[in-house]
Homo-oligomer: A and B are copies of this chain.
């Protein structure tokens, strides 16, 4: 779709922080007009829908300062430099829940807020070991693992108790993939 492309004329870094870098870009639209775009640069990340052998899924409850609430999400985290998405996914599962991954399948990749942010999330489905060892969290995270049956997750989404976009997108994709026989 080259006819829609916005050409970058110049970019200025406003702030370069720990998890976000903010840039202001001057761009040229296809019709020649010039406009300003604010872009938040964020890590590439992974998010994992993780299932135990007993059929329960492991979610995490985590306090999210931007919305001042503790919410339910699937396991997620930033990829480290040079790390492949699947390696990141296995590491995040172990760190946040203490479970190891037995089998893993890529679902899809999503963009979380493409109007102003470049964040890409690689979504995985993972099957876990029956038991967990100790967690190994980042020191400034407060992450608590919780487990739900499939029916509980569907009802938490329908009732609005699960509001996290990547979590609902992963669950929706997982259901579509199973209905279309792309996953067991």
Asked if A6 is at the interface of the complex by the 8 Å CB criterion, the answer is yes
Q: Given B22, B71, B108, B157, which contacts A176 in the complex, CB threshold below 8 Å?
A: B157
Interface of A is mostly: mixed
Q: Given B61, B114, B168, which contacts A1 in the complex, CB threshold below 8 Å?
A: B61
Asked if A102 is at the interface of the complex by the 8 Å CB criterion, the answer is no
Contact between A37 and B65, CB atoms less than 8 A apart = yes
Q: How far is the CB of A80 from chain B (nearest CB, A)?
A: 16
Q: When each residue 8-33 of chain A gets 1 if its CB lies under 8 Å from chain B and 0 otherwise, what string results?
A: 10000011011110101101011001
How many copies of the chain does the oligomer comprise? Answer: 2
Q: Which residues of B contact A90 (CB under 8 A)?
A: none
Q: How far is the CB of A21 from chain B (nearest CB, A)?
A: 10
Asked if A137 is at the interface of the complex by the 8 Å CB criterion, the answer is no
Q: Decide: A27 near B171, CB < 8 A? Known: A71-B111, A108-B163.
A: no
Asked if A42 is at the interface of the complex by the 8 Å CB criterion, the answer is yes
Interface size on A, residues (CB 8 A): 75
Contact between A114 and B171, CB atoms less than 8 A apart = no
A residues 141-184 in Cβ contact with B at 8 Å: 142, 144, 154, 157-158, 160, 163-166, 168-169, 171-173, 175-177, 180, 182
Q: Which 9 A-B pairs have the closest CB atoms?
A: A172-B172, A1-B70, A168-B169, A64-B114, A4-B63, A66-B118, A35-B140, A4-B70, A165-B165
